[in-house]
Amino acid sequence: MASAACRPPLTNARARIWRYSQGDTVLVAFALLHAVLLALWPFAPLIAVGVWWNSNTIAHNFVHRPFFRSAALNRSFSAFLSLLLGIPQTLWRDRHLAHHAERPWRLRVCKNLVLETLFVLNLWAALAWFAPRFLLLAYFPGYLAGLGLCALQGHWEHATGAPISHYGRLYNLLCFNDGYHAEHHSAPATHWTLLPNVYVAGPESSPLPPLFRWFDQVRLLELLERVVLRSPLLQRFVIRVHRQALQSLLEQCSPIRTVTIVGGGLFPRTALILRELFPAAKLVIVDCNRRSLDTARTRLQVDIECRCERFLPGQSYDSDLTVIPLCFEGKRDLIYRNPPTPFVVVHDWIWSSRGQSSLVSALLLKRINLIRTDPFRINPIRFNPIQR
């Protein structure tokens, strides 16, 4: 039984329709919008994205907290979602609750499951009769791709064996706090509007939404850096968009005398830009990959110190400014919570806005965040170089 803290308060008027929260109006409205978009543009990509997004947001929240006080309305909405997604929602509910209970799923035949399955099969039969080309070339490819995206979502939400959260504001806005996954598993009865208030000690988290976490496994960012190295055109584009973003954030900062650039190897665009913006500042590149440092030296051709060391959160070189790359191998949240220097520039994904923020490029899915802190609160910890 859910505690009172899990249920947002309702007025008597609202309670006649909504069981837990008027916020569920938004989910029902988006489910109807999903149906309208499919009717207007029944393309395979839209079908795939709709199956993935709706299953992990609207249908998922409906599994845990049926929206309506009326049992008949809940059964009707479940049937509507079954037709919209091509997935009998009673089946989806049983499988998902078995996942939360950490027990094997077993098929349980009931009246609702039979009815919803018949609805889906009748829809497919009607499409096969009236629009066979659409069924084979658009609906089924999109449907199967959507199921594949759902499988990837489930895998990366538990890739380490524990629920992994993502706190990006954009993702949680578009997916109704689905990123609070560790919190959801800790208190699955909690309404989606209250998940940000759930406390979990030391939750697993990722700066990437679930479907993008494979980036870390294939080292895609390093691959893209090497592509940029081979193209002067891409180099000019990358420097231009980063210069605009950095200049807009740093122009009002106090004089910068020393800068630590973490992971500045391969194509050292940050060092090139900061040398231009702060010509009198001392720049230090910290990278534990000696080959990357050697590549940076050949590109810079200026007096910039390079150190073959590993930077860890909480460590500092007594700089005025520290720059953290997008491919930082460590917990980025620790940098945000405990900035190592008075000013910290953090390269982050476009959906992660913290402090003062500036968009680098929508094409690169990237922004930079400027974090300021009281310099008297900085307690730098020296560390030893790693010889490679």
Residues in contact with 334: Cβ distance below 8 Å, sequence separation at least 6, in sequence order = 313, 314
What pLDDT was estimated at residue 134?
95
User: Strand order of the sheet with strand 321-324?
Assistant: 305-307, 282-286, 258-262, 321-324, 343-349, 366-372, 356-361
**Which helix (H) or strand (E) covers residue 288, if one does?**
none
What 3-state DSSP class applies to 356? strand
Q: Is the CB of residue 233 less than 8 Å from the CB of residue 266? A: no
Judging by DSSP bridges, how do beta strands 164-165 and 204-205 pair with one another? parallel
Q: Is the Cα torsion angle 254, 258, 262, 268 positive or negative in sign?
A: positive
Residues 9 and 297: their CA atoms lie apart, in Å, by: 61
pLDDT of residue 272: 84
pLDDT score, position 47: 97
Task: Give me the tens of pLDDT residue by residue for the chain, a chain 388 residues long.
Answer: 344 445 555 544 456 899 998 999 999 999 999 999 999 999 999 999 999 999 999 999 999 999 999 999 999 999 999 999 999 999 999 999 999 998 999 999 999 999 999 999 999 999 999 999 999 999 999 999 999 999 999 999 998 888 999 998 889 999 999 999 999 999 999 999 999 999 998 788 888 899 988 776 556 666 777 777 778 888 888 889 888 999 888 887 878 888 888 886 667 888 888 888 888 888 888 887 777 777 777 777 667 778 887 887 766 667 889 898 887 877 777 888 888 888 999 988 888 888 888 999 888 888 999 988 754 444 443 333 333 3
CA pair distance 163, 180, nearest whole angstrom = 9
pLDDT score, position 130: 96
pLDDT attached to residue 381: 36
- The pLDDT assigned to 110 comes to 93
Give the pLDDT of residue 302: 63
Which of the four CATH numbers 3.10.620.30, 3.40.50.150, 1.10.10.10, 1.20.1250.20 does domain 220-377 have? 3.40.50.150
> What pLDDT score was predicted for residue 377?
43
Residue ranges matching CATH 3.40.50.150 in the chain: 220-377
Pairs from 195-198 (Cβ < 8 Å, separation ≥ 24): 196/172
pTM: 0.67
Q: Are 146 and 52 in contact (CB under 8 A)?
A: yes
Whole-number pLDDT of residue 43:
95
